[in-house]
Chains A and B, each alone.
Chain A
Amino acid sequence: MAILDQGPPHYKKMLPPIVQENYGKWKYHEIPSPGVLKHVGESGAALYSVRVGTPRLVSIDFIRDVCVIADEYCDGFLRWTTRNNVEFLVSDEAKLKPLLEKLEAEGYSVGGTGRSVSNIVHTQGWVHCHTPATDASGVVKAVMDDLYEYFNTMKLPAKLKMGLACCLNMCGAAHCSDIAIVGVHRTPPRINHEVIRKGTEIPSLVASCPTGAIRPDPKNKSVIVNEDKCMYCGNCYTMSPAMEIYDPKNDGIAILIGGKTSNARTSPSFSRMVIPFLPNTAPRWPETTEAIRKIIELWIANANDGERVGEWVERIGWERFFTLAELPFSDMLIDDYIFSRETFRTSAQFKY
């Protein structure tokens, strides 16, 4: 009989001796080279963490491979980061160089520290999600291939954190990223009346619509969608499989920029939409990779030292950003949902 409620494995069993000895007594850290962190304790002890990018969706073969490496160079200890990178924890400085050579030889991607683009936090997409408007892993792969030179170097103005959400559920903080890639639907749900009659709770379905676009249709024992009111969020589809929202011809990607969650200097902020739609050009999403590269290159060329994307855009002004980026501004970029008013300019101060 299985034990219930035993909780997670105890972290203390997972900590290498150097961490146990210096627990809570770290003094400072440096980044000796891209992908390598050096943490120094008050005792003078130094721990090197070597960061390696992963696709997040990994096989058990991959996990066993990194275990072999960790056994050889890290006394069997390693960790994962919040952004799905692996970190090899090296307590013996003599093993650092051999480890880096080994990783290089085996084709691992070392990087993602300091002023670099880190791994893109992302969702399941077509691999395993039931409401996606785009794929997740494929877009991330295409974008990271394109931005690879910024992963294994630290030549950006500041750190760059990206997120991808394959629908508006936005699993994974995409809405507060320096650059967010968000899957969007653009057409109203198609109603399968038979499925609704078979067992959908109509009051819950009606209540699920944030704009009140769904109303009961007692005659049909189904519902009616007021298409003018629908903003294609897909919440009704989450409530009932009868409200099919996917639309291969019209689903795609929106780009939002300038969000962050850190409090450093400026308060945490939401990402803002700058490109309302890019097509789902599988398998490598060239429109999306190009659009993101352009924004990043503009940021590199114009940002002050240490300025994150949102800090840069807020300093120069969003109106100026659109001019510099040569991105079309349209009514699609003006908020017309619940909390829109705070985005309207209530001032006579602006640029061109």
Chain B
Amino acid sequence: MVFKMARGPADPEVKAKVLEYLGKVQKAKSRDVAVAIGASKSDVDNAVKELTAEDLVEYLYITTTFICLKGKVQTPD
């Protein structure tokens, strides 16, 4: 088991896969994304960090925190 969290720039390939996967679902937990695209959770977290800074992905709090493509899910009323 590797315990170190990801640091440094994210893998562009993982970023592309995250975007592709989020295109297919409404929203997801980053762990589910990691399982679905076959990447490590820490690599996904690092990719998401960059994607949110680039305004392509956003966090979504609906009783727990999810991620989704920016603007894809509207505020629940």
Contact = CB atoms under 8 A, between A and B. Distances in A.
A4 B53 contact: yes
Interface in B62-76: 63, 76
B53 A238 contact: no
Given A204-B63, A238-B63, 5 more contacts: A4-B53, A198-B77, A199-B76, A208-B63, A241-B76
How many of chain A's residues touch chain B, expressed as a range? under 10
Contacts of A241: 76
A239 interface: yes
Interface in A174-188: none
A198 B74 CA distance: 12
Interface in B35-77: 53, 63, 76-77
Interface string A1-24: 000100000000000000000000
Interface of A: 4, 198-199, 204, 208, 238-239, 241
Contacts of B63: 204, 208, 238-239
A198 B77 CA distance: 9
Nearest to B53: A4
Contacts of B53: 4
Contacts of A4: 53
Main secondary structure of the interface of B (DSSP, over half): loop
Contacts of A238: 63
B53 to A, nearest CB: 7
Contacts of A208: 63
Most B-side CB within 10 Å, residue of A199, A208, A238, A239:
A199
Contacts of A239: 63
Contacts of B76: 199, 241
A285 to B, nearest CB: 31
A239 B62 CA distance: 8
7 contacts: A4-B53, A198-B77, A199-B76, A204-B63, A208-B63, A238-B63, A241-B76
A199 B26 CA distance: 12
A187 B45 CA distance: 42
A241 B53 CA distance: 31
A8 to B, nearest CB: 20
A266 B77 CA distance: 48
Nearest to B62: A201
A199 B63 CA distance: 14
A214 to B, nearest CB: 14
A195 to B, nearest CB: 8
A201 to B, nearest CB: 8
